[in-house]
Structure 1
Amino acid sequence: MKEEEVINLGNQLNFDAIKASPLKLEASGREYWRIFNNKNHSLVLCYLDPDIGEHSNFIKITNSLSENNVLCPNIIHHNKKLGVTLQEDLGDNDLLSLLNQENKDHLLKKSLDLLIQIQNSKIDGIDRFGENELKEQMISFKKVFCEKFLNIESSNFIDVLISDTIDNLDNHPWVNCHFDFERRNLILNKNNDLTVIDYQDMKIGPIGIDLAGILIDHYYEIDFKDVENHLSHYSENIQPAINKDKTFEYITWGSIQRNIRILGTLANLYIEHNRAFRIKDLPMILSNLILMIPDEYDCKTILEQEIKPLLNKRIGQL
């Protein structure tokens, strides 16, 4: 959208907007803008084309999280017909921007405490991920990332890993799953409290997917020492306590599902919608996937020796 279109939407929701600046465009098609009035008061406007989706799930989950004392943005206004919500402006202090060597340990442990709080919350009416749903998300790696984006004729090398991932996830604990619990979706608000955003896709799902989201970031190579340290914190603070070795098993298979899925999703965004803003992240997502795959899988070598060079070459051509 253009700035004047966003200003017009804000005005239709009784906010006298005079200025708007873009925040981010999500893979889902949601557009986030910061809008200002003449007193320099700001809100966040989220737009989603009503023909694509709606905000009802986000609003319902927001209400449940608030009832469980989980910090999340207040919803000021919603217009279903326009496809717009106006939300509290939490600021720009997301953890992806804030984390450094001095505060990393503290903020990641704080994030895990928030994750435990979310997992323990009573959230009415959210669905459970189906086995086929999680599998189909990974199939997009084959059909889109490999075959369409990299032009690989046969992508069956990944089939055994996909099947084993589903089998393992099915046997793990299932909890409230944000499904995108990563550093850019966690914000320190003006009171320096950690607040969660972008939880509209939350369902009941495998425990390791959100652990992977916060501890295995898409923008940095995995630091296994850090991961083990933070898994110890999580293991000791969740009730009932979980053995640290089990949590590493959970995050292993959660990260494999997550990274395979996201490689397919981001490749599809480029192919179908010409959105190239996340293409630069693909090599790190692939590298971290390779690091998490157990050594006994043949596809680990194929991904390292064949797929990674093809990906780098493809990106270099764009």
Structure 2
Amino acid sequence: MLSDRINSGATKIRLDGLENQGGQRLDELLEWLRMVGPANQCSLQPASSDASFRRYFRLVCSAGTLIVMDAPPEREHLHSFIEVDRLFAGVGVRVPEIVEYDLNRGFMLLEDFGSTSYLSTLDTETAAELYADAMQVLRLFNNDLDPGQSELPRYDHHLVQREMGLFEEWFLAGKLGIRLTKAEVELLQSAKAFLTQVMLEQPRVVVHRDFHSRNLMLVDGLNPGVLDFQDAVVGPLTYDLVSLLRDCYIAWPETAVVQWVRDYFDGLNLDGVDFEQYYRWFDLTGLQRHMKALGIFSRLDLRDGKSDYLGDIPRTFDYVQAVASRYAELSALDNFLTEIVSDRLSRVIPQ
């Protein structure tokens, strides 16, 4: 195994596909890899990027491959990744083994789960089996991790409100150029208060917080491999399930979603909570998440120059509209989305 050979000598590294991505940060990363990497010839290749300031590379050597994480310490913190990795691994979740890290520099070597994500594999033939595997992971979160003993941050009123502020600042104002009237500000405040209440009234569990098809990898043995968990919190029971089944990157017929939710619910033991109540939580928690996601996708484009997520905005907005239309408490929000936002969105990001 490649990780067994770490620190055995100076690594010789060839850049592959990174010729135009030089600079001081890459030079520092190469220096670190030469000190901690395996004692043979390796190549460093681009692996992936995400909706943060982290970058990922693949270190390809004769004995195998590893993933290299570059997390600039002034922007990202490795402590939370390390702690959540240990927490999840302790209850049997398949998370990458951490091979080596440098907290001060923000570098890490990790087990490589390959390049086959759930997103690249999901279709009508594979969905049932893949989602069943993913829901087993959620059962580990719900049943084997004690939120009361966890030192993870709490998904509290402040965090919920702050997330929803992204919808107004970056999606409505930033991307769509909508200037809110006093009445529109008030209806959004009312919707935020309602959704915050729904989020906070649910049983508390350990929440991955980004449990979707891009962060689940198809791996041999215990499937799936779980990534991007460093922002885990103690939060609402339904949050990870709606992240999985109402995914910003792939959509399913509502009949299929309802059946998957029911299958998961049937395996829970919730005193005094029927399926109607659970599904209401699922619906409205998803609405909060998708409003936040619209803000994040817009911010990635406007602030960070990452336009890859713009194509996911129409699908995510469809989720928001569909759920808002189902609840009397959100009728004002539904009207605003239908009469104002939908038209502006169709002109800014044509479907």
Q: Give the TM-score normalised by structure 1.
A: 0.92
Contact map agreement 2:53 2:76 (CA 8 A) in 1? no
> Aligned match of 1:141 in 161, 167, 173?
167
Q: Give the whole-Å Cα distance in 1 for the aligned partners of 2:223 and 2:82.
A: 21
Structure 2 gaps of 5+ residues are 1-17
> 1:21 Cα deviation (Å)?
2.5
Q: Give the whole-Å Cα distance in 2 for the aligned partners of 1:84 and 1:17.
A: 20
1:30 and 2:54 correspond = yes
The equivalent of 1:97 in structure 2 is 120
1:172 and 2:202 correspond = yes
Contact map agreement 1:45 1:86 (CA 8 A) in 2? yes
> Aligned match of 1:279 in 285, 305, 310?
310
Q: Give the whole-Å Cα distance in 1 for the aligned partners of 2:161 and 2:235.
A: 13
Q: After superposition, give the CA deviation of every residue in 1:145-166 in whole Å (9 maximum; x if it has no partner).
A: 1112211110524222211000
Identity score, percent? 20
The structure that has the greater radius of gyration is 2
- Quick one: structure 1 residues 9 and 284, their matched pair in 2 at CA, closer, same or farther if it must change by over 3 Å? farther
- Quick one: structure 1 residues 271 and 17, their matched pair in 2 at CA, closer, same or farther if it must change by over 3 Å? farther
Q: Give the TM-score normalised by structure 2.
A: 0.84
Contact map agreement 1:120 1:176 (CA 8 A) in 2? no
> 1:95 Cα deviation (Å)?
1.0
SS for the counterpart of 1:219 is coil
Q: After superposition, give the CA deviation of every residue in 1:267-299 in whole Å (9 maximum; x if it has no partner).
A: 122222222121111111111111122243122
Tell me which amino acid in the other structure corresponds to 1:303. L
> 1:81 Cα deviation (Å)?
2.0
1:117-128 map, 5 Å: 117-122=140-145, 124-128=150-154
> Aligned match of 1:56 in 76, 79, 84?
79
- Quick one: structure 1 residues 12 and 243, their matched pair in 2 at CA, closer, same or farther if it must change by over 3 Å? farther
> 1:233 Cα deviation (Å)?
1.4
1:111 and 2:111 correspond = no
- Quick one: structure 1 residues 164 and 240, their matched pair in 2 at CA, closer, same or farther if it must change by over 3 Å? closer
Aligned positions, number: 315
Quick check: 307-316 or 267-276, which moved more?
A: 307-316
1:206 and 2:240 correspond = no
Q: Give the whole-Å Cα distance in 2 for the aligned partners of 1:17 and 1:257.
A: 48
> 1:244 Cα deviation (Å)?
2.2
1:243 and 2:269 correspond = no
Quick check: 20-29 or 227-236, which moved more?
A: 20-29
The equivalent of 1:42 in structure 2 is 65
Structure 1 gaps of 5+ residues are none
Quick check: 78-87 or 20-29, which moved more?
A: 20-29
1:304 and 2:338 correspond = yes
- Quick one: structure 1 residues 17 and 73, their matched pair in 2 at CA, closer, same or farther if it must change by over 3 Å? farther
Tell me which amino acid in the other structure corresponds to 1:150. L
